[in-house]
Structure 1
Amino acid sequence: MSSRCEGPVLTYDILFITADQWRADHLPGRAPVALPNLEALLQGSVLFRRHYTQAYPCGPARAGLHTGLYPHKHRSILNGTPLDARHPTVFSLMRRAGVRPRLFGYTDTTADPRLLPPGDPAIGDYEGVAPGLEVDTLLTERATPWLAHLKRRGAAVPHPERGRDAIFAARPFGAPALFDAEDSETAFLTDRFLDWFSVAGPEPFFAHLSFIAPHPPFAVAEPFHSLVDPADVALPIGWGAFAREGAQHPLIAFHQARTNMSNFAPGLAGPAVAADEASVRRIRATYAGMAAEVDHHLGRIVAALKAAGRWERTLLVLSGDHGEQLFDHGLLGKLGYFDQSAHIPLILRDPRPEADAARGSVVDAVTQSIDLLPTLLDFAGLRPPANVDGESLRPFCRGERPAGWRDAAHWSFDFRDLVRGRPEAPQGLTDRLASLHVVRTERLKYVHFPGLPPAIYDLASDPEERRNLAGDAAGERLRVEGLERLLNLRLRHEDNTLTEWSPD
């Protein structure tokens, strides 16, 4: 277990940045838009090309990111599901070692209700703050500080009680957002970080900057709105044959029938599978513009660090919580089991001279969100708790690959709906059976359902996941391999005995 150290635990700054709903294919060289600041960052960093989250949506994704645990251990598996107080976060572990991590943005954490008085309004609120963080600027979907900023700037703020969604709904689909680019959420949060940084003092800091872009609603201000011509973006996987994509598995058909565009783009309605080509292209172009906006403000942050003489003492981690389907396979959002929901970016810049040999390199080893807690603790000279599932990525920053490194990614998705009590899934699944568990190697994609048939893909011949081999003779060997790997994973990572707090 980590413990408090003698003297300062940090000898350089740590800047931990996440961008919400950021797909791994929206990086320099792959995105349909120029990302010059990311490209410059990559020249001095390590890119982890095969990096995956362990769960989605937002709350479960960040629970694993912050605790280093697989979802079957932390059990915060839905937005609003509490994070058990016995599981420390990377922030609380740093804090007990003498560091004061500072938050700009949000963490989508639901507090353990045993720590709150009965009837406290924070019970079940998935927009709480992860333990260990000191809040500088809290920017949730309520967006109160940002709305107040817009009002001070003279912008109309319709229905402030509805939070950020009302701002985006004030313009029709396909139009730029009503605010100026310098007043966007991304700009506002960057400004708040830079304001704090300008007076932070010389001591090493740990700051977590959590951008909501490119999370829906898919709308952005000029000039980012017009950066990408919709005619230039690729059409989604399965375009023109979304019914065939749904026929692959009952869960995909279930999601296709229930994914409404009104939750993603202001002014649109109806199922995603019924979207016309112009709308699909506009949304995919807008998403790319939102990624470009994050890139622009990343450039401002790097410039400020350099101007202050702190760039060469800053460890920078840039990642996301989960991905986005963007109509691939006829889906929007983060759901199902396809790679687009789980494959996310990870860029690590280690400022120390020992990392010089690895700068600009690309790591093909499988890495996961749960690796970031042990990585950050390692850089601070701290040990992670004994039951943590992730592994430190620090050796990769020296150009080394640890012996016995994993060759598969694992993630889970719980698709029950306890709050609204709607039918949980196709074929009338009960709550306990409404989940899936993925094993993903370079060749194999095995998706296990406790109450539905599996999904199996040979990624060597079918990289886009268009042909489910479940029930075919060709998929039997892959099914056996997937089951063995899933069982072995659970056996290796069942230790959940760490107890740090008890209501008694």
Structure 2
Amino acid sequence: MTEKRPNVLLIAVDQWPGHLFGYRGHHAIETPTIDQLARNGAIYPRAYSECPICIPARRTLMTGTSPRTHGDRLFQPAAPMPDLPTLAGTFQAAGYQTAAVGKIHAFPPRARIGFEEALIAEEGRPQLGAVDDHDLYLSDRGFTGKQFMHGMSNNDYGWRTWHLPEDCHVTNWTTFAMCRTIKRRDPTRPAFWHLSYTQPHPPIVPLAAYLERYTRREMPAALSAPWGDDVPYALQAVRGYWDQLPSDRLADVRRAFYALCTHIDAQLRLVIGTLREEAVLDDTIILFCGDHGDMLGDFGLYAKRLMYEGSANVPMILIPAKGDRRVAPGTTDMRLVGLQDVMPTLLDLAGVHVPQTCDGLPMTGEARRETLYGEALEGSRATRMMHDGRHKLIWYPTGNVVQLFDLEEDPDERVDRAGDPAYGAVEARLTERLIGELYGVDGGLAEAGRLVGTPAERYVPVPNRGLSGQRGLHYPEPPLDDPANVVGAG
């Protein structure tokens, strides 16, 4: 008799910093459900998004490859998924039923990339020509085209409470659709389910019930550091694009952002409850992760695209099927992990052959990487990272600025150790490793074993006529647009 194969549930959240959980010791956030999941599996505090930008990160997640392999470290909305085996396609070829609910961020938007079923919520992109399932649901409820009538931007830090009934919120719809998908499964085949929440990525529009619990709670102050006084062009551009909020307004933004997180945490209870009541919870591997984080005002910075912990460090929790001793409940694994490791980890735990195209490593095996390379953007806004598990070297090619942080001594990255004689050997070693990873347009940015970069530039603010990609009334639908246009990225 063939051994029963486990189901797999991959849960992804969008723009949720890795430190912003109760299980990571955060004193203000409420994440009781996810904290309980963490106690049932292994957590990976040194998990990173190799390219902390939505589309590149999801290419990595779905192909098990680094940006160098899949070809995107920018944000290429019109580029199809590369011609590589995908996580869903590999499971499907192994006999699994495969279904996705929520944000896939592929192009074209209804490309299945190996999923037999896909119910999508793509953050209001009708200009790309797709039928969005969340939009269809809103229309069925009598709110055709009104998803964004709250007036908040998908790429900004204004906030207000949700403007439609609770069941119309994208977090509620995504949960509901996944629970139904689980109930509609084929009982003769194992399942791979991908549950992908679009938030806490802006627009910051929490339900009033979740915001209320934070209204009287003290918020942590934004981080600051001496190195933040004179920053390279890439950081100037981030500071120049988003408003520098005073402390009281930033605290309110964080309250609303935390409310989005707690809302997801509560809705996950329904997914776990559905698995339990369908009698498949014990037979299901669960992996919870994020595509990247958000700086949320630390050092005067917002959003992603940066290699600081708030942006690049992501949540990573792995819960095995019951009885699988390869993952011990309640453990902390400090190995260096990238999103490229998700695909080989899940395939390996499920007993499915891992394609040779994967760059990643199973997170449960003996193999460990010594360093992890990170990269985002090109040209004047480029940033590169080399991480050894304790020390993180960040390089800004424009201006040739290097930073070095000791995360064991300085987890908040306040003290830049670049140029410190006590860290000279560490800096030299990580610099050598980073130079060895450079490719493409970066090829001429190092000479004779030294980083040389390009001349420093001074950022000059430009008008933000589109209000960070503000959405409007979506009925009648906006006309089709060039899918290569990058909306709201500054």
Which category of TM-score, normalised to the shorter sequence, fits these structures?
A: 0.7 to 0.9
Superposed, which structure 2 residues align to 1:56-455 within 5 Å? 56-80=52-76, 82-83=79-80, 85-110=82-107, 122=108, 127=109, 129=111, 131-142=113-124, 144-155=132-143, 160=145, 164-169=147-152, 175-202=160-187, 203-229=189-215, 231-238=217-224, 245=228, 247-258=230-241, 260=242, 271=243, 273=244, 275-355=245-325, 358-395=328-365, 402-403=366-367, 405-415=368-378, 425=380, 435-455=382-402
Q: CA deviation at 1:210?
A: 0.7
Aligned to 1:479: 427
Note if 1:23 corresponds to 2:17: yes
Q: 1:213 corresponds to which letter in structure 2?
A: Q
- Alignment deviations for residues 428-451 of structure 1 (CA, whole Å, 9 cap, x no partner): xxxxxx532201234322123444
Aligned to 2:452: none
Q: 2:265 corresponds to which letter in structure 1?
A: D
Indicate if the aligned counterparts of 2:70 and 2:82 stay in contact, CA closer than 8 A.
no
How many pairs align? 425
Q: CA deviation at 1:136?
A: 3.2
Q: CA deviation at 1:50?
A: 1.4
Q: CA deviation at 1:389?
A: 1.5
> 2:204 is paired with a residue of what secondary structure?
coil
Note if 1:40 corresponds to 2:36: yes
Q: 1:221 corresponds to which letter in structure 2?
A: L
Q: 2:123 corresponds to which letter in structure 1?
A: E
Q: CA deviation at 1:88?
A: 1.7
TM-aligned CA distance change 1:287 to 1:40, over 3 Å: same
Identity of aligned residues (%): 21
Q: CA deviation at 1:302?
A: 0.7
> 1:447 is paired with a residue of what secondary structure?
strand
TM-aligned CA distance change 1:22 to 1:182, over 3 Å: same
TM-aligned CA distance change 1:12 to 1:382, over 3 Å: closer
Q: CA deviation at 1:215?
A: 0.7
Identify which of structures 1 and 2 has the higher relative contact order when contacts are C-alpha pairs closer than 8 Å and 6+ apart: 2
Aligned to 2:453: none
> 1:60 is paired with a residue of what secondary structure?
helix
How far, CA to CA, are the matches of 1:380 and 1:463 in structure 2?
Answer: 35
How far, CA to CA, are the matches of 2:31 and 2:418 in structure 1?
Answer: 40
CA RMSD of aligned residues (A): 2.8
> 1:213 is paired with a residue of what secondary structure?
strand
TM-aligned CA distance change 1:146 to 1:131, over 3 Å: closer
Question: Which segment drifts farther, 278-287 or 462-471?
Answer: 462-471
How far, CA to CA, are the matches of 2:76 and 2:161 in structure 1?
Answer: 32
Q: Which runs of 5+ in 1 are unaligned?
A: 1-6, 111-121, 261-270, 396-401, 417-424, 426-433, 492-504
Q: CA deviation at 1:406?
A: 2.0
- Alignment deviations for residues 359-391 of structure 1 (CA, whole Å, 9 cap, x no partner): 111112221111111112112323323242111
Q: Which has the higher helix share?
A: 1
Q: CA deviation at 1:217?
A: 1.2
Question: Which segment drifts farther, 201-210 or 436-445?
Answer: 436-445
Q: CA deviation at 1:87?
A: 1.8
How far, CA to CA, are the matches of 1:200 and 1:89 in structure 2?
Answer: 21
TM-aligned CA distance change 1:221 to 1:86, over 3 Å: same
Q: 1:74 corresponds to which letter in structure 2?
A: H
How far, CA to CA, are the matches of 1:488 and 1:253 in structure 2?
Answer: 27
- Alignment deviations for residues 248-291 of structure 1 (CA, whole Å, 9 cap, x no partner): 43321222112x2xxxxxxxxxx2x2x12221001111111111
How far, CA to CA, are the matches of 1:407 and 1:226 in structure 2?
Answer: 45
Indicate if the aligned counterparts of 2:373 and 2:385 stay in contact, CA closer than 8 A.
yes
Q: CA deviation at 1:218?
A: 1.4
Aligned residue among 465, 477, 482 for 2:413: 465
Indicate if the aligned counterparts of 2:51 and 2:57 stay in contact, CA closer than 8 A.
yes
Aligned to 2:448: none
